[in-house]
Amino acid sequence: MSALRNARNLAPQSPGANNMNIPKIAFFDAKPYDIEFFNSVNQDFGFDIKYFTSRLTKDTVAMANGSDAVCVFVNDMLSSDVIDGLLGTSARLIALRCAGYNNVDLRAIFGKMHVVRVPAYSPYAVAEHAVAMMLSLNRRIHKAYARTRDSNFSLNGLIGFDMRGKTAGIIGTGKIGKIVAEILKGFGMNILLYDKFPDNSFAKLNNIKYSDIETIFNLSDVISLHCPLTPENHHLINTAAIAKMKKGVMIINTGRGKLIDTLALIDGLKTATIGYAGLDVYEEETEYFFEDFSNSVIGDDVLARLLTFPNVLITSHQAYFTREALTNIAATTLSNIKAFFENGELANEICYKCGAGTCMKKETGKCF
């Protein structure tokens, strides 16, 4: 692609031009709830949004032609070949309607097209879902519901444990992890925190301790994952980590699927080292999550095996799924698009250099 074309694609419109030409958005992987909430919030923005139920792939990327921005979600895989195709369209901005960005090849897109995301939408939604999974697994709520629907009112096999006095290890203390810690502290649990960048003022204020990860593995009755996926913590929960855990430990993951080595998790469940597993994310979820396969056979043998365990609770990446969160996601996404096309602002831009060395965005407001 020529330097002239790069410049054309990256340059924001002036406010005057924007008033004359309403930005067009190609919205991929659109679900009915996406359309409902984005249409509602878009009443305050007036963008021209075209919804596509298809995911953004190398086969569908041409559908972005004629748009000024593409709006994508976690299952839209922006690999280098998809990015190459996207650069051949009229789109000038990639707007992620999510916080995570491991589905985007940030190295391939760097310097060619800006990428913005929604860094936060409702940490309470995710935190509350994590705790709901803990309670459901502990007291077998999901099993009891199914049982009573069949008029079976027996209590056999439904015994749980008091959470008060038990130890919870929270790995990742961003906004979500902190809220989980506060909720579980309210239950009377002993809280241990781990984060690469500890917030000692939060710990002091709440009389909670930061610990090393080995101690969390050794002492926790419940381990809850709330960290982003990085090369360093890929398969953080693996065979070696599970071997250090208390027998019967509960593991909750509402973070990223690849934080857990699923085969190691299955081995831990089979040996009863892991007593409970609550997964709102799964490392190979892209093909299945958010879709209806109720009349199909699950071809993923690992996922199918997980579904056979009575002490495993899987939800389909729904921790964020509240009215408040969906409203905030739509508002932030459309605000990101508005700021770029009106003023060239990119407050929520992300690139592969973020967090490493000198940050150009801090100096110029843009990653490049």
φ, ψ for residue 313 (rounded to 5)?
A: -120, 120
Q: Are residues 149 and 269 in the same domain?
A: yes
Shared domain for 252 and 280, answered yes or no, is yes
* Burial letters 176-208, b for 16+ CB under 10 A, else e: bbbbbbebbeebebbbbbbbeeeeeebbeeeeb
Question: Which residues are within 8 A (CB) of 50 and not within 5 positions of it... i.e. 6 or more apart?
Answer: 24, 25, 26, 27, 67
Q: Examine the domain organization and report whether 276 and 347 are in the same domain.
A: no
In this predicted structure, what is the pLDDT of residue 300? 95
The answer to whether residues 147 and 116 belong to one domain is no
What does pLDDT average to over the chain?
Answer: 92
**Mean pLDDT, range 151-161, rounded to an integer:** 97
Confidence at residue 365, expressed as pLDDT on a 0 to 100 scale: 83
Residue pair 337/69 in contact by the 8 Å Cβ criterion:
yes
* Co-location of 166 and 294 in the same domain: yes
Supply the pLDDT for residue 110.
95
Structural domain that includes position 205? 123-314
Residue 72 pLDDT exceeds 70: yes
Same domain, 201 and 347: no
Same domain, 78 and 219: no
Instruction: Provide the H-helix boundaries in 160-236.
Output: 175-186, 200-205, 213-219
Residues 215 and 282 in one domain: yes
Residue 363 confidence (pLDDT):
74
Which pLDDT belongs to residue 204?
96
Size of the chain, expressed as the number of residues it contains: 368
Tell me, yes or no, whether 278 and 216 share the same domain: yes
Q: Which residues neighbour 3 within 8 Å (Cβ) at sequence distance 6 or greater?
A: none
Q: Is 238 exposed, middle or buried (0-12, 13-18, 19+ CB in 10 A)?
A: middle
* pLDDT tens profile 190-216: 999 999 999 999 999 999 999 999 999
Average pLDDT over residues 124-146: 97
Amino acid at 40: S
For residues 210 and 146, state if they share a domain.
yes
**Residue with more model confidence, 255 or 366:** 255
Residues with a known catalytic role: 256, 285, 317
The verdict on 79 and 109 lying in the same domain is yes
Reference 77, options 309, 329, 287; nearest CA is 287
pLDDT for position 357:
64
Reply yes or no on whether the pLDDT at 356 is more than 80. no
Per the structure, how many domains does the chain have?
2
CATH number, domain with residue 152: 3.40.50.720
Query: How does residue 366 score in pLDDT terms, banded at 50, 70 and 90?
Result: confident
Identify whether residues 199 and 343 lie together within a single domain.
no
Q: Which of the residue ranges 223-232, 272-281, 353-362 would you say has the lowest mean pLDDT? A: 353-362
pTM here is 0.89
Contacts of 209 (CB under 8 A, 6+ apart): 191, 192, 193, 203
Quick check: 3 pLDDT over 60?
no
